[in-house]
Structure 1
Amino acid sequence: MKYVKYFFLLIVSLSGVILFTACGGQDEKKTEVRLAEVTRSIFYAPLYAAISEGFFEEEGIDVDLTTTWGGDTTMTTLLSDGADIALVGAETSIYVYAQGANDPAVNFAQLTQTDGTFLVSREPVEDFDWDDLKGSTFLGQRAGGMPQMVGEYVLKQNGIDPHEDLELIQNIDFGNIPSAFASGTGDYVQLFEPTATQFEEDGVGYIIESFGTESGNVPYTVFMAKQSFLDGNEDTIERFTRAIHKAQLWVQEQPAEVVAESIVDFFEDTSLETIEQVVIRYRDQGSYAESPLLQEDAWYLLQEIMDEAGELPMEVSYEDLVNTEIPTRIMNE
């Protein structure tokens, strides 16, 4: 019996070694993906859920997430090989392509499909009409960025000439726009969440309209990679996209409070209640894409919006800068 006991202990010990080695082997097989996000926003909730809920881990991916603050910086980081994948507005890929890039940035998965800004007034407004903006001072976003282009597009669709019918202020840095409005600049302002909701909670301003619902579906924020990276790492891109799609479905299915609890650690200065409210607002207006597949009509609406703003350097075909094969495979699984 003594020898049987020792034999059993030996087997258990060896099993532990084997299990440890196997686990270590799995860790070693994880693929690190360097991801640069254009900003940190509840607008990107499915991305953070993919991390916190372990969807990337399930696909053998270890995401190294960096916030690069701004479209220009994010694209520079991607093109200089400082990141493998960028989360940024699809318009940046058009700007790069128009400059004759030999290794263009290709969009392979959509994360948000509407604009994420809201029209906020200084005073409460009942029965708002877009004509109310005529003669007002409007604090907009910087020229050439998607928020400003969509903002101008929506104003024009509602019969407002942003350069004739109101005083348009767009020379304030993105990060200083909220404080400028809070200190008294402008009658109306175009704001992202959670600032818009926080302004309502503090009585600083009042959300009266959504640019996202007014503009229609556009590939507002997408995951993109250089063509060379896509060609050499198709399996990694496919696993990455599968994790994102899992998170997209999860965010749609879960109660807003569960989503908020999942991503709260990414927003240390925002209360759980505010995050929940923002998730509800974005989800209700269809901002979170339910599919990673960037639609062709949305691609050309994006270019129409850019053209209206005088920012479209050239028309680029859907086939040139949108990879549909990978997200289609994921959707058909």
Structure 2
Amino acid sequence: MKRWLKIGMLMVAVFLLMFASACSQKEERTKVSLAEVTRSVFYTPQYIALANGYFEDEGLDVELKTTWGGDKTMTALLSDAADIALVGSETSIYVYAQGTNDPVINFAQLTQTDGTFLVSREKVDDFEWDQLKGSTFLGQRKGGMPQMVGEFVLKKHGIDPHQDLELIQNIDFANIANSFASGTGDYVQLFEPTASVFEKEGTGYIVASFGEESGHVPYTTFMAKESYIKDNEETVEKFVRALYKAQQWVEKSSGEDIAKVVQPYFEDSDVETLATVIERYKNQGSFAEKMTLTEEGWENLQNIMEEAGELPEKVDYDTLVNTDIVEKVMNE
């Protein structure tokens, strides 16, 4: 009896030791608050890093929150409600132009093309951009990258967005899809998976990709205040390493395999739809596998902003971009 009692006590002690060790490891992880501008399949590699435990492997406890809008995302970052933000690079230029002693620095690129698609209410077999003339176009929020890229592409095809069509830009980002579904607009600019869901339901039909039309641009990047990067360089490096691992996994995996992993982040979408969307983004090279924000991309970004009349001032590449950490990780 005493022998079994000793064995039982030993097993309890081992269990408690293992539990304490696990708790200790969790407590040792560095907490990182990450704010994403919206929930989008466009950010698939980020969800892969979370779902596959790549952040945890680096000793990080990443808390993801969706802030729904570039202005709200930057407010969270500047007020220290978030350590790192995933948002359009143009927001760092807006903040810099307002004057700051602690600028927001772009340190890793997640996507390198626009992620929106042109959706027509009617099915079009042979779409031509001229068909938009005289139509009602439900665009994105003024001053954001989707809107600026949208106008850039329209002008590229000889369409004046403010003269040749009725441009609607006063609807909140979160309500654009619902407005189109309710009957507003002949065409709409949408992110995935909404565009594919609409096509599946017969609500609308994808006729063109703004990403393919606009070329490479640092569309969404990870950024942090200069002071945070300086004081937490090792943490940022671990963060980038986890993301880079996720990017590589996405690059070599099928759309279906990727979709199965990220599906919990998109409970309203089925795996089949997600797989279609992910393959579409992969085929047009949207995911920035190398994660390096290039000088050429930075110039393209500012050209698009200037074309849209939204560039407050030209900002040198080296002022708001830091590629040292990404390059270090990729060269390991």
Q: Under a length normalisation based on structure 1, what TM-score does the superposition of the two structures give?
A: 0.94
* Within-5 A mapping of 1:221-260: 221-260=220-259
- CA–CA distance in 2 between the matches of 1:112 and 1:118? 15
- What is the one-letter code of the residue matched to 2:204? G
Instruction: Please name the residue that 1:274 is paired with.
Output: 273
Shift of the alpha carbon at 1:205? Answer: 0.7
Task: Say whether the 8 Å CA contact 2:152–2:214 is kept in structure 1.
Answer: yes
- CA–CA distance in 2 between the matches of 1:294 and 1:97? 18
3-state SS of 1:314 partner = coil
Shift of the alpha carbon at 1:27? Answer: 2.1
Cα distance per residue 1:12-67 (max 9 Å; x no partner): 88776665554443222211100111111111110111010111111011111111
3-state SS of 2:286 partner = coil
- What is the one-letter code of the residue matched to 1:41? S
* Within-5 A mapping of 1:143-182: 143-182=142-181
Cα distance per residue 1:129-159 (max 9 Å; x no partner): 1111112221111211111100000111111
Which has the higher mean CA deviation after the structures are superposed, 156-165 or 36-45? 156-165
Which has the higher mean CA deviation after the structures are superposed, 305-314 or 277-286? 277-286
* Within-5 A mapping of 1:1-333: 20-333=19-332
- CA–CA distance in 2 between the matches of 1:122 and 1:20? 57
Shift of the alpha carbon at 1:217? Answer: 0.8
Q: Cα gap change, 1:8/1:170 in structure 2, threshold over 3 Å: closer, same or farther?
A: closer
3-state SS of 1:119 partner = strand
Cα distance per residue 1:221-275 (max 9 Å; x no partner): 1110111100000000000000000001111111111111111111111112211
Shift of the alpha carbon at 1:293? Answer: 1.2
Cα distance per residue 1:95-133 (max 9 Å; x no partner): 000111111110111111111110011111122111111
- CA–CA distance in 1 between the matches of 2:178 and 2:10? 66
- What is the one-letter code of the residue matched to 1:294? L
Cα distance per residue 1:260-307 (max 9 Å; x no partner): 111111111111221111111111111111022111100110000000
Q: Which runs of 5+ in 2 are unaligned?
A: none
- What is the one-letter code of the residue matched to 2:38? T
3-state SS of 2:246 partner = helix
Shift of the alpha carbon at 1:185? Answer: 1.8
Q: Cα gap change, 1:187/1:26 in structure 2, threshold over 3 Å: closer, same or farther?
A: same
Task: Say whether the 8 Å CA contact 2:153–2:210 is kept in structure 1.
Answer: yes
- CA–CA distance in 2 between the matches of 1:12 and 1:270? 45
- CA–CA distance in 1 between the matches of 2:46 and 2:142? 27
3-state SS of 1:115 partner = coil
Percent identical among aligned pairs is: 63
Task: Say whether the 8 Å CA contact 2:139–2:167 is kept in structure 1.
Answer: yes
Task: Say whether the 8 Å CA contact 2:69–2:173 is kept in structure 1.
Answer: no
- CA–CA distance in 2 between the matches of 1:184 and 1:261? 33
Q: Cα gap change, 1:179/1:22 in structure 2, threshold over 3 Å: closer, same or farther?
A: closer
3-state SS of 1:124 partner = coil
- CA–CA distance in 2 between the matches of 1:170 and 1:17? 59
Q: Cα gap change, 1:9/1:174 in structure 2, threshold over 3 Å: closer, same or farther?
A: closer
Task: Say whether the 8 Å CA contact 2:140–2:169 is kept in structure 1.
Answer: yes
Shift of the alpha carbon at 1:85? Answer: 0.4
- CA–CA distance in 2 between the matches of 1:237 and 1:314? 28
Write out the 4+ residue segments of structure 1 that deviate beyond 6 Å after TM superposition: 5-17
Q: Cα gap change, 1:174/1:19 in structure 2, threshold over 3 Å: closer, same or farther?
A: closer
Alpha-carbon RMSD: 2.0
The total of aligned residue pairs comes to: 331
